[in-house]
Amino acid sequence: MTAQIIAMMLFALTMSITPGPVNVTTFSSGVNYGFMPTMPFVTGATIGFTLLLGLVGLGMGGFITLFPFVGKIICFAGAIFISYVGYKIMHSRVSIENKSADRPLFHHGFIMQWLNVKAWIACLAGTSAFRLSESYEKLFLFCVIYFVICYASIALWAMSGKLTSKLFKNEKHIATINIIMGLILISLGVLLVINDGVIS
């Protein structure tokens, strides 16, 4: 059991810490608004993912398998939402003094996870690899492990954004970061559609 817990932790860390739409958005929010104002988004993303993981483990993943078009709808809707967030980041108002407007909130993080193909792949792969559907106790354990690691990983992206912002003392530099982060998200959205969700 100890070996399986370690495997669960490594899986959760690998899937949570690697770049993706949620982490890019979190980093950008950290740059623009700071660490604590970004935490509602981090919390929403973590809760959203953990709930999705639990439901997939309870059998919702089978529904996606039976009806592949649902996965395509999620992929397309996710691409639109991710591209929209990227657009908002690119055109966000930059102000060193006032960093309260237009920051991503709890519900943005929650929704982004449910429309994030990377999150669906992580849930489907995790429940399959650890055979979570065979044991409610094991599913609950994995959800708890994933919640802690996911929360810490996304929060680390927020802190990285905050620390990065200290390197840039004028608004033009931060605006450049916003454009880069926004373009990355829009590119991810486009690639999701082109590759049918495979690259996320």
CA-CA distances (angstroms) from residue 108 to 121, 131, 142? 20, 30, 24
The band of 20, judged by pLDDT with boundaries at 50, 70 and 90, is: confident
Q: Give the pLDDT of residue 190.
A: 82
Please say if the pLDDT value at position 39 is more than 80: yes
**What is the sign, positive or negative, of the torsion defined by CA atoms of 10, 13, 14, 15?**
positive
The band of 199, judged by pLDDT with boundaries at 50, 70 and 90, is: very low
Q: Give the pLDDT of residue 198.
A: 46
Token pair of 118 as six digits? 């990377």
What distance in Å separates the CA atoms of residue 95 and residue 80, rounded to the nearest whole number?
A: 27
Average confidence (pLDDT) over 22-48: 94
**Residue pLDDT, tens place only, 132-186:** 777 888 899 999 999 999 999 999 999 999 998 887 767 777 788 888 888 888 8
The band of 187, judged by pLDDT with boundaries at 50, 70 and 90, is: confident
Q: Give the pLDDT of residue 100.
A: 60
Contact 89, 181 (CB under 8 A): yes
**How many alpha carbons fall within 13 Å on the CB side of residue 193?**
13
The band of 200, judged by pLDDT with boundaries at 50, 70 and 90, is: very low
Contact 70, 114 (CB under 8 A): no
Token pair of 14 as six digits? 């690998």
CA-CA distances (angstroms) from residue 101 to 36, 38, 89, 92? 14, 12, 12, 9
Contact 175, 94 (CB under 8 A): yes
- The predicted model scores a pTM of 0.83
Q: Give the pLDDT of residue 37.
A: 94
